[in-house]
Structure 1
Amino acid sequence: MNELAVTHARGRPVPPPTDRRAALESAFAAHGWTPTTTASGSGGGPPALTGAEADRLAEVAAELRPIFTGAADGLNQLLVRHGAVPNLHGDPPILAFHAPGADLVDAWAADAGTALAMVIGVGQGVRLRTCEAGGCELVFFDVTRNASRRFCGLSCQNRAKASAYRARRRA
């Protein structure tokens, strides 16, 4: 979501990626995720992400982003539309929330939507957050013990604190 559905990050405008496919592949690689669940991926290695899939993933990211602000109204429709259903598949079997033959976008949307629904369903929805720093729209999952994290990272926290200090000094 942070790669595709954010217009401001860390106090600066973020232009949409000119090549969504490359941006997604870079983000997937940075997080150690390899897309292997497309119907077209029956060959020797993981399938390549297509430009059309990248565009569809951008739409899904934009649809999922409001959930981090507490607006989970459309989550059920997303789960139905992308065929979210728990099942075991693969060798060794893994628990997934998409059909074994789902295309990459439906698989990603079903798995991500189900993960967010599970977080909300067990009462941890308050941990889905957006950065509180001005000029930053990044989303994150708060893993602090007391669910008190307010910023996406140290740079936004420092900017917010310095801004508050300057405002107090002016007053």
Structure 2
Amino acid sequence: MLFTNDTEEALAAAAAIVNSDVEPRTLRTRDELADFFRDLGYTGRFDGGDAEFERVRAIRPRLRELLTADRDSAAALVNQTLVEYDATPQLVRHDTHDWHLHAVDADRPFDERVSVETALAVVDLIRADEMSRLSICSADGCEGVVVDLTRNRTKRFCSTRCANRSAVAAYRARRREHPHA
């Protein structure tokens, strides 16, 4: 583990929200958002209505900007987010989770909690000078965000689908170059 669990989980969730707007598109329905909330182990308020659904989808460009920013720009975006949502980081322990940071109450809207949790996760990357852990997918034509938490920094694709597509394309190119090999 390179970072704390809550940092890694927040980064993965933010990337999933951003990548929901990249083919294949996800978070297209309120039910998909409810599954996302449950599958990623979120706690706290979840209304599940149309307004919440639209607010979560509306934060995608801002999360993308934060996850693809250089270190100095990311710091400014983090500070802006924490001020905007009147976030006050505090250590909390709940359910099966040991001490970790929350900066807004659990009854705040889901999109606000995601925004602030992402900002707090990026704080760890900025402080550790590890913004290079975030990148854009290497697959041709894909704009998905990649969160690389591997020790050797080898993650290049946003999904298994993109990795497989790239591998098949490379295989076919090699076969065209050397058809009898």
Task: Tell me if TM exceeds 0.5.
Answer: yes
> Per-residue deviation at 1:141?
2.0
**Contact kept in structure 1, 2:146 and 2:156, CA below 8 Å:** no
> Per-residue deviation at 1:101?
5.7
1:37-52 equivalences in 2 (<5 Å): 38=45, 47-52=46-51
Specify which of 16, 19, 22 is matched with residue 8 of structure 1: 22
For 1:117, the equivalent position in structure 2 comes to 123
**Contact kept in structure 2, 1:97 and 1:110, CA below 8 Å:** yes
For 2:4, the equivalent position in structure 1 comes to none
CA gap of 1:143–1:50, structure 2 versus 1, over 3 A, is: same
For 1:41, the equivalent position in structure 2 comes to none
> Per-residue deviation at 1:59?
1.8
Alignment partners' CA distance in 2, 1:168 and 1:116: 39
**Contact kept in structure 2, 1:127 and 1:143, CA below 8 Å:** yes
Identity across aligned pairs (percent)? Answer: 31
Specify which of 109, 122, 127 is matched with residue 133 of structure 2: 127
Alignment partners' CA distance in 1, 2:93 and 2:20: 34
Other structure's SS at 1:129 match: strand
Two-structure CA RMSD over aligned residues (Å): 3.0
For 2:83, the equivalent position in structure 1 comes to 80
**Contact kept in structure 2, 1:83 and 1:110, CA below 8 Å:** no
Amino acid at match of 2:79: N
**Contact kept in structure 1, 2:135 and 2:145, CA below 8 Å:** yes
Unaligned runs of 5+ in 1: 39-46
Alignment partners' CA distance in 2, 1:94 and 1:148: 28
1:157-168 equivalences in 2 (<5 Å): 157-168=163-174
CA gap of 1:129–1:55, structure 2 versus 1, over 3 A, is: same
Other structure's SS at 1:149 match: coil
> Per-residue deviation at 1:145?
1.0
Amino acid at match of 2:38: A
